Amino acid sequence: MTGPHMATQLNEYVDGTLAAHLRASVEAHLADCAPCRAAVAELRSLSAAAASLPRSIEPGRDLWAGVETRIAQRATWNVQRFRWGAALAAAAVLVIALGLYRLLPPFAAHDRPAGEGAGWATVQADFDRATSELGLIFAAERARLRPETVALLERNLAIIDTAIAESRAALARDPASVELRGLFAAAARQKVELLRWAARVAAS
């Protein structure tokens, strides 16, 4: 009968993971101990039998049909999710584009009369709603992106948000400024495009 300490050493000896000095000591012990020699022989036989068990066992029934059904369901779900995300993203871009086009036609930019505050407020509200919807898509899908990509996206979004906040603050002081509206529009387009890209990549 071998004790727990010896049993551990015999297992390590059989596995070839015993330190050299302990190995010599175990071999010296084995020379004088028949029960330990028998234990080593049994351990070797057991490991050899385990390693030679059949590598392959056919399942009792064909499992492919279940696999195929689940793959097909997931594919449909992915397509639906992508279409839904893409539709929201497209709608958000359209809202921004139409709003900005209405208030910032290039040919009229320098002739624009002041006093369109109500229309401009509507564009800003539409932008907030659109980016909020895209932000929700991104939040729902972000786990599918690599952490480094999410970190980079968040850094860029923070930069754009700062630009948007500064444009808004300046517009609050000078609401009729065409240049400031142009700055806001540029930052807004960047944010929508970035969120749209993130939602598309995450859903793909």
Partner 1 sequence: MHSDPTDLIHRAQQGDRTAFEALYRAHAGRVYALCLRLTADRALAEERTQDAFVRAWERLATFRGESAFSSWLHRLTVNEVLLGRRAERRREQRVVTSDDPAALERPGAADTSSGSALDLEHAVAALPAGAREVFVLHDVEGYRHEEIAELTGIAVGTSKAQLFRARRLLREALNR
Q: How far is the CB of 204 from partner 1 (least distance, A)?
A: 10
Nearer to partner 1, 64 or 107 (CB): 64
Place of tokens 């028998």: 38
CA distances from 4 to 32, 33, 40 (A): 19, 16, 14
Nearer to partner 1, 66 or 119 (CB): 66
Q: How far is the CB of 3 from partner 1 (least distance, A)?
A: 12
Q: How far is the CB of 196 from partner 1 (least distance, A)?
A: 22
Nearer to partner 1, 67 or 169 (CB): 67
* Rounded Cα–Cα distance for residues 13 and 110 (Å): 88
* Rounded Cα–Cα distance for residues 46 and 35 (Å): 16
Can you give the binding site for partner 1, defined by CB under 8 A?
7-8, 11-12, 42-43, 46-47, 49-61, 63-64, 66-68, 70-71, 74
The pair of three-digit structure tokens given for residue 62, joined into one six-digit string: 């064909």
Nearer to partner 1, 45 or 132 (CB): 45
* Rounded Cα–Cα distance for residues 115 and 65 (Å): 66
Query: Which DSSP string corresponds to 12-48?
Result: HHHHT-S-HHHHHHHHHHHHH-HHHHHHHHHHHHHHH
Q: How far is the CB of 189 from partner 1 (least distance, A)?
A: 31
* Rounded Cα–Cα distance for residues 51 and 129 (Å): 62
DSSP tag of 121? H
Nearer to partner 1, 132 or 204 (CB): 204
The pair of three-digit structure tokens given for residue 121, joined into one six-digit string: 């407020």
Nearer to partner 1, 53 or 172 (CB): 53
Q: How far is the CB of 66 from partner 1 (least distance, A)?
A: 5
Q: How far is the CB of 36 from partner 1 (least distance, A)?
A: 13
